[in-house]
């Protein structure tokens, strides 16, 4: 029940857990962890993706819970961290990169539409930011967002990694992608299930440490191909199920 103080009823606090997938982020991670508004967050789960540096140690030193996922991949790391929430789920899960490109202090911006009851999924959009995003990332994001709009009528400007989602919505999505398709998969499946969403502008900057995806040709091509493939696959399965619905 909501606590009553001098006759006033306050809504119960929203329980927020943060998931940070991290692969060799020993330099960046302490900054990320210190800049999270701790008064708003219950647990921080760092999913150490087989790091060969002190990522796990620095995460523990800063008070985060650490889980290990040896299979490389952004999605694999996020899925491993999600398993950790099952025993005592939060109300909201926030995903945040461990490379200090996002501004963790902007977390309240992501929570606001959920607290207001206007959205279950909130994407931090880096659309207006010049720093941190490579030209190929910008183009890839734009193409994916145009496709999302054309296919599902949803209006996004970015596939940003800094995002908040209610636990119930997250569970309903049945997330499965184990690497670069994670962000677009969440937006596709939320659109298919008609989950209320919002976008809020967030700042972005150059990462601390060595680039693993967008700064490499292999990473960029791999990520773009995966995103397009996922979009295509979901469209095909939508068409198939429409066909089945029409069958007598």
Ligand X SMILES: Nc1nc2c(ncn2[C@@H]2O[C@H](COP(=O)(O)OP(=O)(O)OP(=O)(O)O)[C@@H](O)[C@H]2O)c(=O)[nH]1
| Residue in 19, 74, 119, 191 binding ligand X, rule: CB under 6 A | 74
Q: Could you give the C-alpha distances from 171 to 26, 39, 92, in angstroms and in order?
A: 30, 25, 11
3-state secondary structure of 206: coil
The nearest distance, CB 244 to Mg ion, in angstroms, is: 40
Instruction: Tell me the three-class secondary structure of 47-78, residue by residue.
Output: EECCCCCCHHHHHHHCCCEEEECCCCCHHHHH
Q: Could you give the C-alpha distances from 186 to 10, 68, 110, 165, 183, in angstroms and in order?
A: 32, 22, 16, 10, 5
Which of 36-44, 70-78, 81-89, 197-205 is the region at the interface with ligand X (rule: CB under 6 A)?
70-78
The nearest distance, CB 94 to ligand X, in angstroms, is: 14
DSSP code at position 229: H
The nearest distance, CB 224 to Mg ion, in angstroms, is: 15
Q: H or E segment at 108?
A: helix 107-115
Using rule CB under 6 A, residue 98 touches ligand X: yes
User: CA 227, CA 180: separation in Å to the nearest integer?
Assistant: 7
The nearest distance, CB 107 to ligand X, in angstroms, is: 16
Which of 36-44, 91-99, 109-117, 233-241 is the region at the interface with ligand X (rule: CB under 6 A)?
91-99
Binding footprint of Mg ion on the chain (CB under 5 A): 97, 99, 101, 207
On whether the CB atoms of residues 106 and 162 are closer than 8 A, the answer is: yes
**Which entry of ligand X, Mg ion, none binds 158, CB below 5 to 8 A by partner kind?**
none
User: CA 49, CA 42: separation in Å to the nearest integer?
Assistant: 22
Using rule CB under 6 A, residue 222 touches ligand X: no
**Which entry of Mg ion, ligand X, none binds 23, CB below 5 to 8 A by partner kind?**
ligand X
Using rule CB under 6 A, residue 154 touches ligand X: no
User: CA 155, CA 173: separation in Å to the nearest integer?
Assistant: 19
| Residue in 45, 66, 101, 113 binding ligand X, rule: CB under 6 A | 101
Using rule CB under 6 A, residue 99 touches ligand X: yes
**Which entry of ligand X, Mg ion, none binds 56, CB below 5 to 8 A by partner kind?**
none
User: CA 21, CA 178: separation in Å to the nearest integer?
Assistant: 12
The nearest distance, CB 24 to ligand X, in angstroms, is: 7
The nearest distance, CB 38 to ligand X, in angstroms, is: 19
Using rule CB under 6 A, residue 164 touches ligand X: no
User: CA 116, CA 211: separation in Å to the nearest integer?
Assistant: 36
Give me 1's structure tokens: 């029940």
Spell out, one character per residue from 191 to 220, where the chain touches ligand X: x when CB under 6 A holds, - when not: ----------------x---xxxxx-----
Give me 159's structure tokens: 């596939």
How many Cα atoms within 13 Å fall on the side-chain side of residue 229?
Answer: 11
Instruction: Enumerate binding residues for ligand X (CB under 6 A).
Output: 21-23, 25, 49, 72-74, 77, 97-99, 101, 207, 211-215
């Amino acid at each position: 029940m909501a606590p009553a103080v001098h006759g006033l009823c306050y809504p119960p606090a929203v329980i927020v857990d943060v998931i940070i997938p991290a692969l060799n982020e020993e330099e960046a991670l302490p900054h990320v962890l210190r800049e999270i508004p701790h008064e708003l967050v219950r647990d921080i789960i760092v999913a150490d993706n087989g790091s060969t540096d002190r990522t796990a140690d620095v995460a523990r030193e800063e008070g985060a819970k650490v889980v290990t996922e040896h299979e490389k991949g952004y999605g694999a790391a996020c899925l491993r961290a999600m398993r950790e929430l099952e025993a005592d789920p939060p109300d909201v899960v926030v995903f945040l990169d461990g490379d200090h490109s996002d501004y963790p202090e902007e977390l309240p911006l992501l929570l606001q539409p959920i607290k207001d009851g206007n959205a279950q999924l909130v994407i931090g959009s880096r659309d207006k930011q010049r720093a941190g995003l490579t030209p190929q990332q910008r183009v890839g994001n734009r193409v994916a967002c145009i496709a999302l709009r054309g296919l599902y009528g949803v209006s996004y400007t970015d596939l940003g990694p800094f995002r908040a989602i209610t636990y119930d919505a997250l569970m309903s999505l049945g997330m499965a992608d184990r690497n670069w398709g994670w962000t677009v998969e969440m937006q596709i499946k939320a659109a298919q299930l008609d989950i209320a969403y919002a976008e809020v502008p967030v700042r972005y900057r150059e990462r601390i440490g060595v680039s693993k995806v967008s700064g490499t040709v292999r990473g960029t091509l791999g990520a773009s191909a995966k995103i397009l493939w996922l979009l295509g696959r979901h469209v095909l399965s939508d068409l198939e199920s429409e066909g089945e619905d029409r069958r007598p």
